[in-house]
A and B are shown apart, each in its own frame.
Chain A
Amino acid sequence: MTITINVNGSGHQVEASPETPLLYVLREDLRLNGPKYGCGLGQCGACTVQIDGKAAFSCVTPIAAIAGRSVVTVEGLAPKGEMNMLQQAFLTEQAAQCGYCIAGMIMRAQALLDEIPQPDEKTIRRHMQPNLCRCGTHMRILRAIRRAAAPNASHLA
């Protein structure tokens, strides 16, 4: 079936069976690299995107459930070649090792900062709980989120 989806601010018509997970449409049809296949079970968060501003697992979200809703991937956070404040904070903190989880981490963290601009440590950790990192980059990810959340974030860099 043909489905119209809104991704990173623009509409796209895609041909896919309705149960197709959003992840595969984003990666194959829209050629986006940010959302990653990690488990296909909503357990690791590598596929995290925002759907209507909330962090969501694109690997278990059927495309049929997306019609009329707005999807944002890491590619949609800033114009091409630029970074938003959170991405910039990840860069400053060098918050990646292999980096396979990182786009998902950023999308989940951004959803938190959009809702609570200055979350405390406990809130950040609780919010990030669904996303796994195997390299052990957690301390840096937390630092990057705190940096982006600090009121004078730009002065810390």
Chain B
Amino acid sequence: MSCADPSRRQILAGGGLLVTFTFAARALGQLAGGGEGGGGSKVKRPDLLGSLKSTPRLDAWIHIAPDGRVTVFSGKVELGQGIRTALLQVAAEELDLPPARITFFTADTDRTPDEGLTAGSHSMQDGGSALANAGANVRMLLIRAAAAQWRLPREKLATDGHGNVVGPGGLNAGYGSLAATLSLRVEARPDALRRDPASYRTLGRNLPRVDIPDKLTGGQSYVQDMRTPGMLHARVIRGPSYGTRLVRPKLAEAGRMPGVVAIVQDGNFAAVVAEREWQAIQAMRVAQASDYVRTIPGLPVEDGPHRLQKLEKREIQVLDTHDPAPGAIHRSQGSYSRPWYSHASIGPSCAVALFRDGTLTIWSHSQGVFDMHRATAELVRLPPEKVRVIHTPGSGCYGQNGADDVTAEAGLLAMALPGRPVRLQWMREQEFGWEPCGCAMVTKVDAAVGADRKISYWNYEVWSNSHNMRPVEAGGYAVAQELLPGFAKQTPKPISMPEGDGDRNANPLYVFRNMNVRYHFIPEMPMRVSALRSLGAHLNIFTLESTLDDLARGIGEDPLAFRLAHMEDVRAREVMIRAAHEFGWANRPRGDGRRGCGMAFGRYKNIGAYCAIAMEIEVERETGVITVHRVHAAVDAGQPATPDGIRNQVEGGIIQSLSWAMFESVTYDDSKRTSFDWGSYPISRFSDIPGEIAVHIMQRSGTPFLGAGETSQGPASAALANAIADATGVRLRDMPLTPDKLKAAIGLAG
């Protein structure tokens, strides 16, 4: 390996191997929480829709060059959910242009609107609504400009779908020439006329996703694929999981390995930087050959999720209603739980960073590049305007995996090696060991049906940590407590309703009498946790829908009819009826000890997309192994941008939710997580996938967008539990619903 590299000479000069740099801790007040808990930007125009509220000026969203080239900017990011294509369709529709005519830029802290996090199924509701209305405003201005030019009333003019305003007698003017006569440096108006859904050219059609061709042919699609001149490869040197530190990492030995350019160390944070990736990995392994110690309290081996119930809690009363009701004829009581889950991204998190000329640029697959921009600036002690974060897609994250941490760590390394781009990727075991897990949760329900066969009371409790530990300040990063001096940990906060976090969907959309719903918010975290797709909605819907099923079964009522009897929301009723119809619910095979069918419903957050799922399964009684034969889902997401995009998300959500429900659980001993690979954290493989999944999209042309990316997480797990109950007569309440648990339960029941 050549030693000619100047940065290497500098760093290794004088026989000193370790580059040490320190950053003083600096306090920064917690930024105001947005819907999903990110920093969010300030509302300036509450009268506007979606993200236009905080970024009302049209030129922040849309540019039209004199030659007619159109550029659209969005602060939302492609996570594999297809949002890039969906948002492009929205902009194309309202500008009345073919999508291919638009150059589309997504989240870059230097040039796009700050739309906060891309999370919580908010992208269509916030980003889609903003682009739709910004597009409608721009189209209105273009038509007005043409009307003035031609001295005609606006009503006589139209757009032709190809970037022209047209009028009577063959009048025709291109957007470029019209745009040259007006300024988009104006704020949006709330009343710009949207295009008529009856004449939509793009919205609601299945536009093929723009990012897929590169992904099928080996194009540069991901931050993991970035290669820039002079780029170095880094690996962090760490103990086996969060809350540990290596006693004596062999840094000097690692520093002598071939290709190693620097060992960067600050406090307990250490990383190796090498010319080539495999060299960095080998040096990391040498450095990590050390004992470790635990630096925070041990993991809850004895209690599992129930540890939460022993910790100090803050009470949040979600619902407290009082109604007259007849006496109970049937009661369902139980405690439900889910374990800590891993996001289990296929590609470990990665970021590339470059510090040059006083500016730090980071290419990151974080869901919150605007938060990264502020929090990383604080961490590396640069003014925020000297830090730029550019979103670059990565492997799917499904919430806060290692993406945010690796962004900050790549930033730290780039600061230590000015002028050289540094690519840092976590190893598989580091992703499993250090990422924030999805929260374990416990619920407890006591509900009863009265003589009128309706629910007479509903007592519900949920215990959960914060699902929202996304860094909005330096202290939110794992590395922040490794540095010396470090940063105090970010304070855990619940997300308030109607979004909620641990209590998300703990408020039933159904009409029940005498509801008492309490959220026991637990600030202390037995395991490092943060957002995982659907947050608390997963267990809350699982509990609610399991209990409804249990009550219906108890009084001999059909589960669909029982749900409908408690539901007044017309759209909710319609998705349930549609799913049941498509599934063939009325003629379904009845539970016979092996086969069984179950259904479940949820409207995500009670404000997002509606989803109903019906499922047929088979249980092998001898082994407890479950086969899912077929699944039908009906989804109402309002006006769909790309119906096939919603189908893709819901199919994926069902498979992921079934994997959570059947197989997954982060394992640990007292001192560390013991899930570190795909053997110790199994997820669904092809043999476990349902025989058939059909997703039916409700036609809701012209209605507001309703985020659909997470809507199937709760109903899919619940439908499975209900199908198991139908098939076997046993009610499993603690996920994962493993063959061992099922076999034992069947044995007990029999």
Q: Is the CB of B278 within 8 A of A43?
A: no
| 0/1 string, A23-63, CB within 8 A of B gives 1 | 01001100111101111110110100000000000000000
Q: How far is the CB of B446 from chain A (nearest CB, A)?
A: 34
Q: Is the CB of B395 within 8 A of A98?
A: yes
Answer yes or no: B224 CB below 8 A from chain A CBs: yes
Q: Is the CB of A39 within 8 A of B428?
A: yes
Cα of A124 to Cα of B217 in the assembled complex, Å:
22
Q: Is the CB of B344 within 8 A of A96?
A: no
| 0/1 string, B203-232, CB within 8 A of A gives 1 | 000001101110111111110110100000
* B80, B218, B278: the one within 8 Å of A20 (CB): B278
Q: Is the CB of B656 within 8 A of A134?
A: yes
Answer yes or no: A136 CB below 8 A from chain B CBs: yes
Answer yes or no: B81 CB below 8 A from chain A CBs: yes
Cα of A27 to Cα of B209 in the assembled complex, Å:
25
Cα of A74 to Cα of B218 in the assembled complex, Å:
6
Task: Give chain B residues whose Cβ lies under 8 Å from the Cβ of A43.
Answer: 677-679
Q: How far is the CB of B437 from chain A (nearest CB, A)?
A: 15
Answer yes or no: B685 CB below 8 A from chain A CBs: yes
Q: Is the CB of A75 within 8 A of B217?
A: yes
Task: Give chain A residues whose Cβ lies under 8 Å from the Cβ of B651.
Answer: 136-137, 139-140
Q: Is the CB of A100 within 8 A of B346?
A: yes
Cα of A16 to Cα of B428 in the assembled complex, Å:
23
Within 8 A of A (CB), among B609-656: 644, 648-649, 651-656
Q: How far is the CB of B590 from chain A (nearest CB, A)?
A: 27
Q: Is the CB of B648 within 8 A of A140?
A: yes
Q: How far is the CB of B710 from chain A (nearest CB, A)?
A: 13
Stretch at the interface among B159-167, B503-511, B686-694, B731-739: B686-694
Answer yes or no: B347 CB below 8 A from chain A CBs: yes
Cα of A99 to Cα of B79 in the assembled complex, Å:
10
Task: Give chain B residues whose Cβ lies under 8 Å from the Cβ of A103.
Answer: 215-216, 218
Task: Give chain A residues whose Cβ lies under 8 Å from the Cβ of B209.
Answer: 94, 96
**Given A98-B79, A100-B222, A138-B655, A40-B687 contact (CB < 8 Å):** no
Cα of A131 to Cα of B683 in the assembled complex, Å:
11
Q: Is the CB of A138 within 8 A of B689?
A: yes
Task: Give chain B residues whose Cβ lies under 8 Å from the Cβ of A87.
Answer: 216-217
Cα of A101 to Cα of B396 in the assembled complex, Å:
10
Task: Give chain A residues whose Cβ lies under 8 Å from the Cβ of B276.
Answer: 24, 28
Q: Is the CB of A125 within 8 A of B428?
A: no
Cα of A139 to Cα of B686 in the assembled complex, Å:
9
- Chain A, interface SS category: loop
**Given A32-B218, A46-B346, A135-B656, A98-B393 contact (CB < 8 Å):** yes
Answer yes or no: B519 CB below 8 A from chain A CBs: no
Task: Give chain A residues whose Cβ lies under 8 Å from the Cβ of B487.
Answer: none
Cα of A97 to Cα of B212 in the assembled complex, Å:
8
Cα of A24 to Cα of B425 in the assembled complex, Å:
13
Task: Give chain B residues whose Cβ lies under 8 Å from the Cβ of A100.
Answer: 80, 222, 224, 345-347, 394-396
Q: Is the CB of B678 within 8 A of A36?
A: no
Answer yes or no: A3 CB below 8 A from chain B CBs: no
Task: Give chain A residues whose Cβ lies under 8 Å from the Cβ of B591.
Answer: none
Q: Is the CB of A91 within 8 A of B396?
A: no
Give the residue name and chain of the A residue nearest to B231 (CB): A28
Cα of A74 to Cα of B216 in the assembled complex, Å:
7
**Given A46-B347, A132-B346, A138-B655, A39-B678 contact (CB < 8 Å):** yes
Answer yes or no: A126 CB below 8 A from chain B CBs: yes
Cα of A94 to Cα of B347 in the assembled complex, Å:
20
* A residues apposed to B, CB below 8 Å: 16-17, 20-21, 24, 27-28, 31-34, 36-41, 43-44, 46, 73-75, 78, 83, 87, 90-91, 94, 96-103, 106, 124-126, 128-129, 131-140, 142
New A-B pairs, 16, CB < 8 Å, besides A46-B347, A99-B80: A16-B278, A27-B277, A31-B227, A38-B428, A43-B679, A94-B208, A97-B652, A98-B79, A98-B346, A98-B394, A99-B212, A132-B346, A132-B685, A134-B346, A136-B653, A139-B690
The 5 A-B pairs of least Cβ separation, nearest first, read A98-B80, A136-B655, A136-B652, A98-B396, A99-B215
